[in-house]
């Protein structure tokens, strides 16, 4: 690791006295977001299904001098979500922001998707996002206002091979825009961040053949590389910040223009990678095909 603290570009104490809930905050992009927000003074609440994961990340943040609180919560269970967030607000006294980061999917042909697999992905990526958002509104944000950032995906050209998550993420995008208008009267802003192909620990869960294909395809896109967790976190941090108070209903792409890429008339990619920002001092050290990209 290059540093003992998160190398954020934002002002210190930007989120002092603020409480921000991050679902899926124990690993991957959510873990990075939690570290950056805590480094900026926020009290972060890390929600996840596995206690050991959120507890480990919370311990990391506290070890770095931040404030973090682990919370075991299955976002697919609306009653449990409601109870957890009600208790959170009672104990913390407030809730100022929500990052709906928890999600999951797996690659596979649409014709082979089983009802159990389809339902599991939609329940997590769409329904779970909604249950968490509704409970956050009910117990905290409706009274004090605040900001919500939903993590979605590059669904602009469909998601062949992942039709289940494409459908769910597209639903969250529409939900983001609907709530941005409906909840404006409560001083709540609702935005989304759509990461492209990001170098994160979650990629290790995919088959190696899929991982290699992702790396190969990214080499011929405009950025000619994978994105970093820090680049996604920086966008989320901005949308949560006071600098974004006149931004709501926006879907911010963090993909180096990859989603606009088409077969070019002139060569694109196959060049030196674009400069990257990676301020996360605890970023994962990945093995296999991704080790070369770091």
User: Residues 37-83: pLDDT tens digits?
Assistant: 999 999 999 999 999 999 999 999 999 999 999 999 999 999 999 99
Distance set, CA 55 to CA 38, 182, 284 (Å): 15, 35, 17
Strand partners, 21: 45, 98
Report, in angstroms and rounded to the nearest whole number, the Rg of the chain calculated over CA atoms: 18
Higher pLDDT, 261 or 150: 150
Q: What is the DSSP string of 225-276?
A: S-EEHHHHHHHHHHHHSGGGTT--S-EEEESTTGGG----SS--SSSPPPP-
Strand partners, 70: 46
Mean pLDDT of the chain: 91
Q: How far apart are CA 115 and CA 107, in angstroms?
A: 15
Nearest CA among 140, 184, 150, 141 for reference residue 170 = 150
Q: Are 58 and 35 in contact (CB under 8 A)?
A: no
**Alpha helices for the chain (secondary structure H):** 28-39, 51-63, 78-92, 115-122, 128-136, 142-144, 163-182, 208-218, 229-240
Count of positions (residues) in the chain: 294
124-159 b/e with 16+ CB inside 10 Å = b? Answer: bbbbbbbbbbebbbebbbbeeebbbbbbbbbbeeeb
Q: pTM of the predicted model, to two decimals?
A: 0.88
Q: Are 128 and 73 in contact (CB under 8 A)?
A: no
Q: Which fold has domain 19-207+227-265?
A: Rossmann fold (3.40.50)
| Torsion of Cα atoms, 216 then 269 then 237 then 167, to 10° | -50
Q: Are 247 and 236 in contact (CB under 8 A)?
A: no
pLDDT of residue 78: 98
The string of pLDDT tens digits covering residues 70-95 is: 999 999 999 999 999 999 999 999 99
Q: Return the number of other C-beta atoms located less than 10 Å from residue 94's C-beta.
A: 15
Q: Are 3 and 64 in contact (CB under 8 A)?
A: no
Instruction: Indicate the pLDDT class of residue 209, thresholds 50, 70 and 90.
Output: confident
Asked whether the predicted pLDDT for residue 266 surpasses 80, the reply is: no
């Amino acid at each position: 690791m290059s540093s003992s603290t998160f190398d954020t570009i934002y002002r210190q104490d930007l989120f002092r006295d603020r409480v921000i809930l991050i679902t899926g905050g124990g690993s991957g992009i959510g873990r990075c977001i939690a570290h950056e927000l805590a480094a900026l003074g926020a009290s972060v609440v890390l929600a996840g299904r596995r206690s050991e994961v959120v507890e480990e990340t919370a311990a990391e943040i506290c070890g770095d001098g931040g404030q973090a609180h682990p919370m075991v919560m299955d976002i697919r269970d609306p009653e449990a979500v409601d109870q957890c967030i009600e208790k959170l607000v009672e104990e913390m006294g407030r809730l100022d922001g929500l990052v709906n980061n928890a999600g999951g999917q797996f690659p596979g042909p649409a014709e082979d998707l089983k009802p159990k697999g389809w339902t599991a992905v939609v329940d997590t990526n769409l329904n779970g996002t909604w249950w968490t958002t509704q409970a956050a509104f009910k117990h905290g944000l409706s009274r004090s206002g605040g900001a919500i950032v939903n993590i979605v995906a590059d669904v602009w050209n469909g998601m062949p091979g992942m039709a289940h998550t494409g459908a769910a993420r597209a639903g969250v995008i529409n939900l983001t825009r609907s709530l941005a208008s409906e909840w404006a009267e409560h001083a709540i802003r609702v935005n989304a961040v759509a990461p492209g192909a990001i170098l994160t620990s979650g990629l290790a869960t995919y088959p190696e053949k899929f991982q290699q294909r992702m790396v190969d395809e990214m080499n011929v896109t405009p950025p000619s590389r994978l994105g970093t967790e820090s680049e996604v976190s920086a966008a989320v941090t901005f949308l949560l910040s006071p600098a974004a108070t006149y931004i709501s209903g926006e879907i911010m792409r963090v993909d180096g223009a990859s989603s606009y890429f088409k077969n070019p008339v002139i060569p694109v990619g196959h060049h030196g990678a674009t400069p990257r920002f990676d301020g996360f001092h605890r970023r994962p050290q990945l093995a296999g095909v991704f080790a070369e990209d770091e």
